[in-house]
């Protein structure tokens, strides 16, 4: 039996949470892009999550993650990502906003100039984060550097504990069961907006990286019994256990709120056709999608995440996977700060 919006809200109320964003985020139709593509295309503006000027999907997760940190008596939080990580920047902001010390371990996929930090890395410093740059060693991949940064973070937490400082460990991307509650709650918000506006979406497209947003969306969809397919477009190469891990996260989130619903691995539709040539590496397809949306609607999506997801949406409409006249939703997960990052990340969007 499906859960109502009000029932779901009541289930979420018992979870530790610190308000950080301005919700609900706008939901509106993209009229010119709808005409261009022959579908009814809507956008959910989670780039406007506030109260930080540069919002994004991590704000929803951080409400619950920072709430859990506060519940555990933390004085600091630590997290991980690439040097231009949206998640790391939003964690630094959310921690500062909540009176906690932010500590970041950031893998240098694109090595920054230590004398000229840009974009998210610049903002990390403005928010008072303690920043540790993890340079990639010869022959090392981003995933390898990530694993090293996790070990460094654990050692840092242990040192703080010896000093009597409680530090809450937030995984990369905020991808744990508390973080995924953010998008379970986000799906409840969307369902309420759909009811208010009389809309029923056939499908949703969004960008996925660490998998926590994807897990929360699916948990919310199954909890509410929504008849909507969710297309998760990867921003990086993922392994064969990716969907299984996301299902595990979704089910842990549902268990936290006492929901008698499950998410299965087969529920996920994961699109790996658009991340190439790699994480934080711009593609011609995404560049064209970014320019098309900007020049038709004045909406900016970024080259790392949302631009590649929007390219996936366009491709599926044009090749007929999404039938003409469908009601389609694009979840904008933020990332506009990357336009002020290193040229190797931005690519040719200005040309």
Average pLDDT over residues 311-316: 98
Domain-embedded: residue 133: yes
Residue 184 has pLDDT above 90, yes or no: yes
pLDDT for res 158? 98
Task: Please tell me what DSSP assigns to residue 334.
Answer: B
Residues 181 and 289 in one domain: yes
Average pLDDT over residues 312-339: 96
Structural tokens at position 247:
């299902």
pLDDT for res 53? 84
Domain-embedded: residue 24: yes
Average pLDDT over residues 256-273: 97
Domain-embedded: residue 262: yes
State the pTM of this model: 0.95
d(CA 162, CA 328): 52
Residue 38 has pLDDT above 80, yes or no: yes
Domain boundary among 158, 174, 190: 174
pLDDT for res 36? 96
Q: Calculate the alpha carbon distances from 90 to 16, 41, 142, 228, 335 in Å.
A: 19, 28, 21, 29, 10
pLDDT for res 145? 92
Task: Please tell me what DSSP assigns to residue 156.
Answer: H
Average pLDDT over residues 194-212: 97
Instruction: Tell me which residue of 157, 158, 91, 159 sits closest to 129, measured CA to CA.
Output: 91
Structural domain range at position 129: 58-174
The better pLDDT of the pair 321, 52 is held by 321
Structural tokens at position 57:
């999907």
Residue 133 has pLDDT above 90, yes or no: yes
306 three-state secondary structure: helix
Residues 72 and 219 in one domain: no
Helices (H), the chain: 5-12, 31-37, 58-71, 86-97, 119-126, 142-162, 177-197, 212-224, 242-256, 284-297, 306-318, 343-346
Domain boundary among 174, 193, 217: 174
pLDDT confidence band for 1 (50 / 70 / 90)? low
Domain-embedded: residue 293: yes
Q: Calculate the alpha carbon distances from 15 to 80, 93, 144, 172, 249 in Å.
A: 24, 21, 34, 21, 16
pLDDT confidence band for 110 (50 / 70 / 90)? confident
Question: Which of 81-90, 108-117, 207-216 shows the lowest per-residue confidence on average (mean pLDDT)?
Answer: 108-117
Give, rounded to a whole angstrom, the gap between the first and last alpha carbons of the chain: 52
Residue 191 has pLDDT above 70, yes or no: yes
User: Cα dihedral sign for 29, 316, 46, 289?
Assistant: negative
Residues 194 and 302 in one domain: yes
d(CA 285, CA 117): 28
| Helix axes of 212-224 and 242-256: crossing angle, nearest 10 degrees | 60
Q: What is the pLDDT of residues 249-261, one digit of tens each?
A: 999 999 999 999 9
User: How many alpha carbons fall within 13 Å on the CB side of residue 168?
Assistant: 25
Number of domains in the chain: 2
pLDDT for res 349? 83
Residue 303 has pLDDT above 90, yes or no: yes
Domain boundary among 131, 152, 174: 174
pLDDT for res 162? 98
User: Cα dihedral sign for 291, 297, 299, 304?
Assistant: negative
Residues 135 and 189 in one domain: no
Residues 73 and 194 in one domain: no
- What is the CATH number for 167? 3.40.50.1100
**Contact (Cβ atoms closer than 8 angstroms) between residue 94 and residue 20:** yes
Q: How many CB atoms lie within 10 A of CB 248?
A: 16
Residues 157 and 168 in one domain: yes
Selected catalytic residue, list 34, 51, 85, 210 = 85
Domain-embedded: residue 270: yes
Beta strands across the sheet bearing 101-108: 130-135, 101-108, 76-82, 167-169
pLDDT for res 135? 93
Residues 28 and 52 in one domain: yes
pLDDT for res 52? 84
The residue written with tokens 């002020």 in the block is 340
Residues 29 and 97 in one domain: no
d(CA 301, CA 287): 10
**Contact (Cβ atoms closer than 8 angstroms) between residue 246 and residue 31:** no
Q: What percent of the chain has pLDDT over 70?
A: 100
Q: What percent of the chain has pLDDT over 90?
A: 89
Residues 103 and 163 in one domain: yes
Domain-embedded: residue 180: yes
Domain-embedded: residue 260: yes
232 is catalytic: no
Domain-embedded: residue 351: no
Residues 74 and 196 in one domain: no
Residue 117 has pLDDT above 80, yes or no: yes
Residue 350 has pLDDT above 80, yes or no: no
Residue 161 has pLDDT above 90, yes or no: yes
Residues 147 and 184 in one domain: no
**Contact (Cβ atoms closer than 8 angstroms) between residue 206 and residue 335:** no
Residues 197 and 336 in one domain: yes
Q: Which residues of 289-325 are buried (b: 16+ CB within 10 A; e: fewer)?
A: bbebbeebbebbbbbbbbbbbbbbbbbbbeeeebeee
pLDDT confidence band for 2 (50 / 70 / 90)? confident
d(CA 212, CA 175): 4
pLDDT confidence band for 213 (50 / 70 / 90)? very high
The better pLDDT of the pair 31, 2 is held by 31
Residue 166 has pLDDT above 70, yes or no: yes
Residue 4 has pLDDT above 70, yes or no: yes
């Amino acid at each position: 039996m499906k859960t109502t919006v009000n029932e779901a809200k009541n289930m979420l109320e018992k979870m530790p949470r610190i308000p950080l964003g301005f919700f609900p985020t706008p939901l509106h139709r993209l009229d010119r892009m709808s005409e261009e593509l022959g579908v009814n295309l809507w956008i959910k503006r989670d780039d406007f999550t506030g109260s930080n000027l540069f919002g994004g999907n991590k704000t929803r997760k951080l409400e619950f993650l920072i709430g859990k940190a506060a519940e555990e008596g933390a004085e600091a939080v630590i997290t991980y990502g690439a040097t231009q990580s949206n998640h790391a920047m939003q964690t630094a902001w959310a921690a500062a906003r909540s009176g906690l010390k932010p500590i970041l371990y950031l893998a240098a996929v694109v090595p920054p100039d230590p004398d000229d930090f840009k974009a998210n890395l610049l903002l990390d410093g403005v928010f008072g984060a303690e920043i540790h740059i993890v340079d990639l060693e010869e022959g090392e991949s981003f995933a390898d550097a990530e694993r090293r940064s996790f070990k460094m973070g654990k050692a840092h937490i242990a040192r703080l504990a010896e000093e009597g400082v409680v530090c809450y460990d937030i995984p990369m991307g905020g991808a744990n069961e508390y973080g995924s509650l953010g998008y379970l709650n986000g799906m409840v918000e969307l369902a309420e907006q759909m009811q208010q506006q009389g809309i029923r979406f056939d499908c949703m497209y969004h960008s996925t990286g660490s998998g926590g947003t994807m897990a929360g969306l699916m948990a919310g969809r199954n909890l509410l019994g929504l008849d909507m397919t969710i297309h998760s477009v990867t921003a990086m190469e993922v392994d064969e256990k990716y969907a299984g891990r996301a299902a595990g996260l979704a089910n842990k989130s549902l268990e936290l709120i006492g929901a008698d619903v499950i998410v299965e691995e087969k529920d996920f539709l994961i699109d790996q056709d658009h991340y190439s040539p790699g994480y934080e590496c711009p593609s011609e397809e995404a560049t064209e999608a970014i320019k098309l949306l900007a020049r038709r609607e004045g909406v900016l999506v970024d080259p790392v995440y949302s631009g590649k997801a929007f390219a996936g949406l366009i491709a599926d409409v044009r090749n007929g996977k999404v039938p003409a006249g469908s009601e389609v939703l694009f979840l904008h997960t933020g990332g506009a700060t990357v336009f002020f990052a290193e040229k190797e990340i931005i690519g040719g969007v200005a040309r």
